[in-house]
């Protein structure tokens, strides 16, 4: 069984950076990842929405090696097959992807499974089916993911975080300005795309976010 469970997983979810080439200002994924990790990112997700899978494998192997060396959680979005091929630490699925029970059957117990619920009922069902953590959002309005839907707000996040026993990460429109409120609502960390990937100084943007998250968790008694 993987060691990415319990306290280690909660710590790894503090600052969860998701790749997005459209926001990277032409910079390679590996460069963005390296700078984000240097700034304090604790998890990295490969989000591959377009382009050949052969290229995804090449990029993914480089990111996987970087994360392994840095002790950072490496997750693949949506694609269970890609996650398995890359020997990723985890895979993250949503309501329109392969369901959590089938995902767990494919990856076994050696891989972390994350899930993005839209309702409390989905969150509870995912936990019962073996999800290791939940990504809840969009907490705030966001244009990064056009299919993300309207903002769910802090109250919805708090409702889910209070009802499940697995870690919850807030995602959607999160910046260093509002990240503390997400933690106070019950999240163990924040997942970001544009706030880090789209920043002019990726390392500094990650550093600022990590500082805010750490302070909010300390204030909460974590």
Q: Could you tell me if residue 1 is inside a domain?
A: no
Q: Alpha-carbon distance 39 to 186, whole Å?
A: 24
> Which residue is catalytic, options 21, 34, 64, 116?
116
Contact predicate 164/134, CB 8 Å: yes
Is 57 part of any known ligand binding site?
A: no
Q: Which two tokens stand for residue 1?
A: 């069984």
Q: Could you tell me if residue 74 is inside a domain?
A: yes
For residue 113, pLDDT beyond 70: yes
The number of domains in the chain is 1
CA neighbours within 13 Å on the CB side: how many for 14?
A: 25
> Which residue is catalytic, options 34, 47, 79, 203?
47
Question: What is this structure's pTM?
Answer: 0.95
CATH of the domain at 20: 3.20.20.70
Burial of 189 (0-12, 13-18, 19+ CB in 10 A): buried
Is 78 part of any known ligand binding site?
A: yes
Is 105 part of any known ligand binding site?
A: no
Residue 67 CB contacts under 8 Å (≥ 6 apart), including other chains: 33, 37, 44, 73, 74, 89
Q: Which two tokens stand for residue 111?
A: 């891989």
Tens digits of per-residue pLDDT, 55-76? 999 999 999 999 999 999 999 9
In this structure, what DSSP letter does residue 96 have? T
Mark whether 54 is an active-site residue. no
Mark whether 145 is an active-site residue. yes
Is 143 part of any known ligand binding site?
A: yes
Domain extent, residue 117, equals: 7-220
């Amino acid at each position: 069984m993987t060691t990415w469970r319990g306290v280690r997983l909660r710590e790894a979810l503090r600052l969860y950076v998701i790749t997005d080439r459209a926001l990277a200002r032409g910079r390679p994924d590996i460069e963005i990842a390296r700078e984000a990790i240097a700034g304090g990112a604790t998890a990295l997700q490969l989000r591959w929405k377009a382009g050949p899978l052969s290229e995804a494998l090449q990029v993914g192997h480089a990111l996987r090696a970087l994360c392994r060396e840095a002790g950072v959680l490496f997750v693949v979005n949506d694609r269970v097959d890609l996650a398995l091929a890359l020997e990723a630490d985890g895979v993250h699925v949503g309501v329109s992807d392969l369901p959590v029970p089938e995902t767990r059957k494919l990856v076994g117990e050696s891989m972390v499974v994350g899930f993005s619920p839209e309702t409390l009922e989905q969150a509870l069902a995912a936990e019962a089916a073996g999800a290791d953590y939940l990504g809840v959002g969009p907490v705030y309005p966001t244009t990064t993911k056009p299919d993300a839907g309207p903002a769910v707000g802090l109250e919805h996040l708090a409702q889910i975080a209070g009802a499940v026993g697995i870690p919850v990460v807030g995602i959607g429109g999160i910046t260093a300005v509002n990240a503390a409120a997400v933690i106070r609502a019950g999240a163990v960390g924040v997942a970001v795309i544009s706030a880090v990937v789209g920043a002019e100084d990726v390392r500094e943007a990650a550093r600022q976010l990590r500082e805010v998250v750490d302070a909010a968790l300390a204030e909460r008694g974590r």
